[in-house]
Chains A and B, each alone.
Chain A
Amino acid sequence: MKITVSSTGLSALDRPRLPMIALVVFALALAVFFVFPDRLSLAAYIGIFALFALSLDLALGMAGIVTLGHAAFFGVGAYTAGWLALAGWQEPITGVVISGLCAAALAGALGPFILRLTGLPLVMVTLAVGVFLFEAANKLTWLTGGDDGLYGMTFSPVLGIFEWSIYGTTDYLYVLAWLALAFYGCHRLTTSNFGLALRGVRENRLRMSLLGSSVLAQLTLAYALSAFIAGVAGALLAQTSEFVGLEVLSVEKSIDVVVILVLGGVGHLYGALLGAPVYLLIKDMSKEWNPHAWMIIIGFMLVFVMLVARGGIHGVLHKVIARSRGKLPNGEPR
């Protein structure tokens, strides 16, 4: 079965500059800091998931790797950050980088084996690898704390200045900084030659390999880069919550992040920035109304996005903006 990923947006060639939407989103994110000072814990949590979804967009949106096991890298990042702190390495920024590298190393090791696959077999193997790691973490209680989790860690202030507190001020700005950095990096990547080659692989793997492109090596590199960012997101969760639970490796996390990305829009980077707040805020707010409602609402949203609003929130926004300017993307007739 051939894999295709929805690509209703523009090609990379059309977007050399940093998209306006991204600037607007980050401006809004900064405004949150001043407007909702008592909701910064939630905001930081959303930022972490935006970062996680961004990492998935590299793998799924750019390289076309359909995976249901991305939590593996998120989890490895989180546990690495936790172990580092418990071992006495409490400096957070280097901790994040090391955690990301560990996740990338795992992806680099797995990639050559599993990225040969496509379609349902690929989905199944990524899922199975994810479950395998979860089960292993559950059993290795001396290492992970098992079901009780990894606890008792503390981190030094960020840059030696910003103290952590329950108000989440430091947490939020710290997460936001990482998110902006990662977003900028990903943006540069998508407009690079490597990004173009990946898009080529996504659209037609056979043609790219006939063109002499070493597809597997490119996919593995993209997978490792994606895992690095996922590991960073996991490490940020560990640092902001001073705790690592088994759930960081769960299948539910893997499904969550795919849903977030798809709601936001696949393949445009800022789909991740839009999807995370929408998904998590709906979850948070609908639960106050009726705890079971959110599953139903998210379910209907997925069906709606897939049948009517292809391209997710980003796709819809894009169409609205284009229409107001009197033209439609990709030169579609009105």
Chain B
Amino acid sequence: MFELKKKLAAFAAVTALAVGLPVTAGAQDQIKVGILSHDTGPFAQNGQGFHRGIEVYQALHGKSAGGREIEFVYRDIGGPNPAVGKRLAEELIVREKVQILGGFALSSEALAVGPIVEQTKTPAITFIASSPSVLAGSQYFLKSGQHIAQSSSAGATFARKQGAEKCYIVVSDYQPGYDAQKAFRKTFESEGGQIVGEVRVPLNTVDFAAIVEGIASTETDCINVFVPPGAPAIGLLRALAERGLVESNFVVGMGEAEDHILPQYDDSVVGFKGALYYAEALDNEENKTFIAKLKELYGPDTQPDFASASAYDGAHLIYEMVKSQEGKDWSGPDAVEAVKGLSWNGVRGPMKIDPETRELVQNIYLREVQKVDGKLQNAIVDQLEAVEAPSKEWMEN
């Protein structure tokens, strides 16, 4: 038996050799970046944003940095399927020999891939995944999106600034909804407001009239919403508007009414507000160049959204990491170390990587849907500068 165990161990060692040793990267002249994206399924809208953001960045800044050519390889997860995300991440590292990972529309994908990122010391940039626990998955995770509480808390602060006293919170009944709900409630209450009602809406809800009826029977001057973009967001906002609540309340959400979704609403959505780290209407050089190139590449009707903006800023972070290793042997950990504390102007305005937490410090904008020249669009009506992500302790208590 003991003999057999020895033999098996030897066999295990041999097969490991046959299959190849960990990726050893020398001073090669190419860096491959694997993007975990969604080209099909319910999050395909985000995947489209990832492709466009990165392609626009490459069109504007060329396909190489720091003396190395940068190539992007995409993989489609095709729906909420973190196990497939993990498998694709392994394939990207083992087969495609990528040195950097990016993408991650869902937090569960980042959490599933975390152990591989840690084990292979591969820097990974999450474009959207915003769960508070994402960065804890590995020390090589960075973000180009947000911590969910940055926007949620900012929404509460904006509401208080506008004099809102009594707020009702309505979120989708799933983990991101719970995080958003908690952050909004804590901030709103700590700034002197009162939460008069909270409801978690089942994800399979089609008709939101009943939920809205419940809100309307409560006395409120403010409603906070967090539901996934797409059918749920459209359904809830329409129901709120039908009931006249968008007009009578300070209704603040997050990414429910991106500019390219606005044609799906009628005028009743006018007045809806969203607190988020990006807005199409942002008046800065980087954003103007970004939008101009986007329209040039994909047609004049194309509009940016938080997914394409995050991918663009994420691509910048990737280029900065590659530049930091110019003339040296490529080292993932060194590249991550080099961009900690980095600050730059993204399409969302000034942003900085907090060297301690690796979270982003960034502005949060209050956007309001307005009708200009017969067309619905988001205008920026307020902003909070250099918003930091809350601590783990704050989120947990």
Are these two chains actual partners, yes or no? yes
Q: Is the CB–CB distance between B18 and A243 below 8 Å?
A: no
Tell me if B's interface is mostly helix, strand, loop or mixed.
Answer: helix
Q: Is the CB–CB distance between A162 and B114 below 8 Å?
A: no
Name the residue of chain B whose CB is nearest to the CB of A253. B81
- Nearest CB in chain B: distance from A158 CB, A: 9
Q: Is the CB–CB distance between B15 and A169 below 8 Å?
A: yes
Q: Specify which of B90, B133, B202, B203 is in contact with A41 (CB 8 Å cutoff).
A: B90
Chain A neighbourhood of B203, CB < 8 A: 138
Chain B neighbourhood of A42, CB < 8 A: 87, 91
Q: How many residues of B sit at the interface, in one of the four size bands?
A: 35 or more
Q: Is the CB–CB distance between B18 and A37 below 8 Å?
A: yes
Q: Is the CB–CB distance between A141 and B178 below 8 Å?
A: yes
Chain A neighbourhood of B39, CB < 8 A: 287, 291-292
Q: Is the CB–CB distance between A161 and B18 below 8 Å?
A: no
Binds A, one of B104-112, B280-288, B353-361: B104-112
B197 within 8 A of A: no
Q: Specify which of B81, B116, B174 is in contact with A166 (CB 8 Å cutoff).
A: B116
Q: Is the CB–CB distance between B133 and A148 below 8 Å?
A: yes
B94 within 8 A of A: yes
Chain A neighbourhood of B116, CB < 8 A: 166
Chain B 88-115, CB-CB to A under 8 Å as 1, else 0, gives 0011011100000000001110011011
Q: Is the CB–CB distance between A169 and B19 below 8 Å?
A: yes
- Nearest CB in chain B: distance from A265 CB, A: 25
Given contacts A135-B202, A151-B137, A245-B83, A161 and B111 within 8 Å (CB-CB):
no
- Nearest CB in chain A: distance from B136 CB, A: 9
Binds A, one of B5-13, B369-377, B380-388: B5-13
Q: Is the CB–CB distance between B20 and A147 below 8 Å?
A: no
Q: Is the CB–CB distance between B94 and A166 below 8 Å?
A: yes
Q: Specify which of A38, A41, A146 is in contact with B87 (CB 8 Å cutoff).
A: A41
Binds A, one of B72-80, B271-279, B297-305: B72-80
Greatest chain B CB density within 10 A among A139, A160, A291, A292 is at: A291
Tell me if A's interface is mostly helix, strand, loop or mixed.
Answer: helix
Q: Number of A residues whose C-beta is below 8 Å from B? A: 46
A247–B82 alpha-carbon span in the complex (Å): 8
Chain A neighbourhood of B133, CB < 8 A: 148
Chain A 138-155, CB-CB to B under 8 Å as 1, else 0, gives 110100011111010010
Q: Which residues of B, 48-86, contact A by the 8 Å Cβ criterion? A: 76, 78-84, 86
Q: Is the CB–CB distance between B94 and A245 below 8 Å?
A: no
- Nearest CB in chain B: distance from A257 CB, A: 14
A135–B174 alpha-carbon span in the complex (Å): 10
B189 within 8 A of A: no
Q: Give residues in B with beta carbon < 8 Å to A.
A: 5, 8-9, 12, 15-16, 18-20, 39-40, 44, 76, 78-84, 86-87, 90-91, 93-95, 106-108, 111-112, 114-116, 119-120, 131, 133, 137, 173-176, 178, 202-204
Q: Give residues in A with beta carbon < 8 Å to B.
A: 33-34, 37-42, 45, 135, 138-139, 141, 145-149, 151, 154, 159-163, 165-170, 237, 241-243, 245-248, 250, 252, 287, 291-292, 294-295
6 contacts between A and B (CB under 8 A): A38-B95, A138-B203, A149-B112, A151-B112, A242-B112, A252-B79
The 3 closest A-B pairs by CB, nearest first: A291-B39, A245-B82, A243-B112
> 4 new A-B pairs (CB below 8 Å) besides A39-B95, A243-B86?
A149-B112, A151-B114, A162-B8, A241-B112
